[in-house]
């Protein structure tokens, strides 16, 4: 069973093709993407194929399009459009493709998203943990670098589970949706929580990330069962192939959460005090009889890398830094 079609129709050729290129790179949205630059080609395609979502400019919308077999029509508006189109949801055309797709996914509804995800053949999700008992060990920089590099080949999601992530300062902006929202839905036992992600995630270098919690209480107040429910949702009801979890000290029973991971990367430092903390950490896991988790942990000694920009520039340049080179070397060694 193939995925539903998400079609875009806009007489502005560059807009239609740029949007299609963005969507083809964004593997986390489980749709077949089709772009049309005139209504005739859309009508010809639509007469033979069902369309799940049609994103169409207000200037291209016409009576013939209304007769097509389209489950959901969303108008690409330039700000003001014909009042007769008010029966359809609309998104503002001249904003980022990421924001357009978030708004479109919010209009689409979770049931069809679930159906598309479940139609994906041989679906498997690798959960990769990043954790360290040390501070100032570049843990989050490593996790963001790893996620961006993995996202070049797979649909990847990064989730920061720290009490104080600093992401608003890092990205120099506030976020409309955060992990706090998703955890609230988990606590309310809403079904198919992960299918709300396409309307919530942000993207950097094709890596989707859910902005971290706004307050540390949202981390402290989340039980192990709720974290596991979130991972179950991502495994069963998302289109992601890889999920990188950046686990902070405030996560309840973090060691059991890390046991869910395929692999755990642990940034370490070489100074005497840091080595003592690592030895205590490993001794504790052995005392708890967590040898299986110890076997999953790979220590990484990260190279120093200088500043190459602030905010978003820093995050986007991570894959091209010395840290990026190091992460690629780690991944190559694992493939050999």
Residues 62 and 14: their CA atoms lie apart, in Å, by 21
SS3 content of the chain, % helix, strand, coil (to 5): 45, 20, 35
**What pLDDT shows up at residue 122?**
57
Return the higher-pLDDT residue of 69 and 247.
Answer: 247
- Our CA angle for 123, 126, 130, nearest 5°, is 160
Q: What does the pLDDT average to over 229-256?
A: 93
By the 8 A CB rule, do 205 and 312 touch? no
Residue for token pair 């709300």: 196
- Is 111's pLDDT higher than 60? no
**What pLDDT shows up at residue 121?**
54
What does the pLDDT look like over 321-330, one tens digit per residue? 999 999 999 9
Distance in Å from the first CA to the final CA of the chain: 34
What does the pLDDT look like over 47-78, one tens digit per residue? 999 898 999 999 899 999 999 989 889 999 98
Q: Can you list the alpha helix ranges (DSSP code H) found in the chain?
A: 13-25, 39-46, 63-66, 97-108, 110-118, 139-150, 167-171, 179-187, 217-220, 224-237, 254-259, 272-287, 291-296, 311-317, 322-335
Question: pTM (2 decimals)?
Answer: 0.87
Q: What does the pLDDT average to over 287-299?
A: 97
Side by side, the strands of the sheet bearing 90-92 are 32-36, 5-9, 51-57, 70-77, 90-92
């Amino acid at each position: 069973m193939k995925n539903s079609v998400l079609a875009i129709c806009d007489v502005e050729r560059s807009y239609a093709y740029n949007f299609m290129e963005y969507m083809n790179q964004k593997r986390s949205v489980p749709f077949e993407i089709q772009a049309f630059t005139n209504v005739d080609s859309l009508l010809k395609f639509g007469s033979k194929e069902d369309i799940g979502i049609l994103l169409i400019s207000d200037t291209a919308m016409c009576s013939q399009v209304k007769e097509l077999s389209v489950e959901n029509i969303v108008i690409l508006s330039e700000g003001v459009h014909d009042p007769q189109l008010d029966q359809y949801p609309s998104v503002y055309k001249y904003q980022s493709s990421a924001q357009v797709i978030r708004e479109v996914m919010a209009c689409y509804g979770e049931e069809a998203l679930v159906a598309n995800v479940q139609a994906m053949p041989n679906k498997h999700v690798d959960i990769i943990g990043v954790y360290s008992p040390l501070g100032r060990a570049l843990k989050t920089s490593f996790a963001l670098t790893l996620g961006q590099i993995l996202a070049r080949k797979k649909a990847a999601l990064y989730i920061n589970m720290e009490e104080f992530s600093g992401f608003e300062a890092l990205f120099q902006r506030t976020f409309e949706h955060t992990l706090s929202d998703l955890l609230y839905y988990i606590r309310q036992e809403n079904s198919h929580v992960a299918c709300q992600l396409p309307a919530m995630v942000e993207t950097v270098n094709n890596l989707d990330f859910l902005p971290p919690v706004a307050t540390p209480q949202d981390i402290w107040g989340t039980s192990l069962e709720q974290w596991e429910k979130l991972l179950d949702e991502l495994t069963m009801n998302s289109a992601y192939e890889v999920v990188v979890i950046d686990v902070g000290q405030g996560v309840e029973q973090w060691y059991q959460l890390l046991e869910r991971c395929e692999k755990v990367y642990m940034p370490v430092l070489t100074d005497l005090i840091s080595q003592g903390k690592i030895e205590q950490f490993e001794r504790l896991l052995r005392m708890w009889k967590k040898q299986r988790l110890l076997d999953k942990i790979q220590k990484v000694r990260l190279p120093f890398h200088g500043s190459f920009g602030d905010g978003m520039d820093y995050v986007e340049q991570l894959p091209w830094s010395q840290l990026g080179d190091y992460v690629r070397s780690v991944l190559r060694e694992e493939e050999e």
